[in-house]
Amino acid sequence: MTKRLDGKVAIVTGATMGIGVSIVERLAEEGASVVFTGRTLDKGKEVEERFRALGHEVTFVQGSVTEEADVKAAVDAAVNTYGRLTTLVNNAAATETTGPGGADSRITDIPWEAFDKIIRTGVHSILLTCRHSIPHIIAAGGGAIINISAASSLRAINGRPAYQASKGAVNTLTRQVAVDYGGEGIRSNGIIVGFTPTGGEVMTKMLATPAFILAVKKAIPSPRLGHPRDIGSGCVYLASDEGEYVNGVLLPIDGGLSCKLGIPDTSALSAIAGEG
């Protein structure tokens, strides 16, 4: 049976844990050959072995997306191992620096080193990956670049100026690549990720806090929280031929989070005011 991504060759950055792993999994399930990157050798090899045992064509390349030599090595690995490159998914972000207890905090408090790291990881890396990938994608006859963004790039949340600035820049670069390279067969789109539990110590603590979960569920119109596979499935669509006329789009996969204002319910305002 033909799969939706048969013949596609993808690179996924920052994919040894969380959403990145699910993106690799979904692309591979649909027939793509996937090179994925990450800084931690043990984690990367564990993911590689697990997916290869399932029959998937995946290859791990250790490296940092902020180092141009590492980025070039990943691109070369994809082309040399699988013959070409059709798809780039920019997923890497300095998520360990954000969230409760992280260094990303209010502008008057955040250390410069933390701000610089988050911007380099989330923004400078896209310049590097696109610079080295675009010529190969064009040579393959065109393909897709998919940038993973966040709902906080559209509506700010407290105390994460660096992360939100980085994702705002991701959105802008997504549109810029669509305009500059659309005529050469490259589709550039972003995915706006909402609240998607991905594991880890901080996330586990948040999920164990009833008041926090209640507040999150109230903010999301859909009846459940997100799952990393939701994001992976969005990548499948954007990478597939089904999405060949989708370009320059920021696709929310967030259960409706980004379309809802965080204000109290005003639908029964007259009753609240004692009228009627």
Residue 217, Cβ density class (10 Å: 0-12 exposed, 13-18 middle, ≥19 buried): middle
Q: Is 163 a catalytic residue?
A: yes
Residue 100 makes CB contacts below 8 A (sequence gap 6+) with 202, 205, 206
Q: Which residues pair with 143 in a beta bridge?
A: 186
Active-site residue, from 163, 181, 237, 245? 163
User: d(Cα 150, Cα 157) in Å, to the nearest integer?
Assistant: 11
Cα distances from 28 to residues 11, 31, 36, 52, 269, in angstroms, run 11, 5, 11, 10, 50
Measured distance CA(193)–CA(226) in Å, rounded: 9
Residue 44: in which H helix or E strand, if any? helix 41-53
Task: Specify the residue for token string 């990881």.
Answer: 121
- Whole-angstrom Cα distance, residue 191 to residue 254? 9
Extract the tokens encoding 35.
């090179």
Q: Of 249, 248, 203, which Cα lies nearest the Cα of 226?
A: 203
Side-chain-side CA neighbours of 189 within 13 Å: the count stands at: 24
Q: Are strands 58-62 and 87-90 parallel, antiparallel or unpaired?
A: unpaired
Positions marked active-site: 163
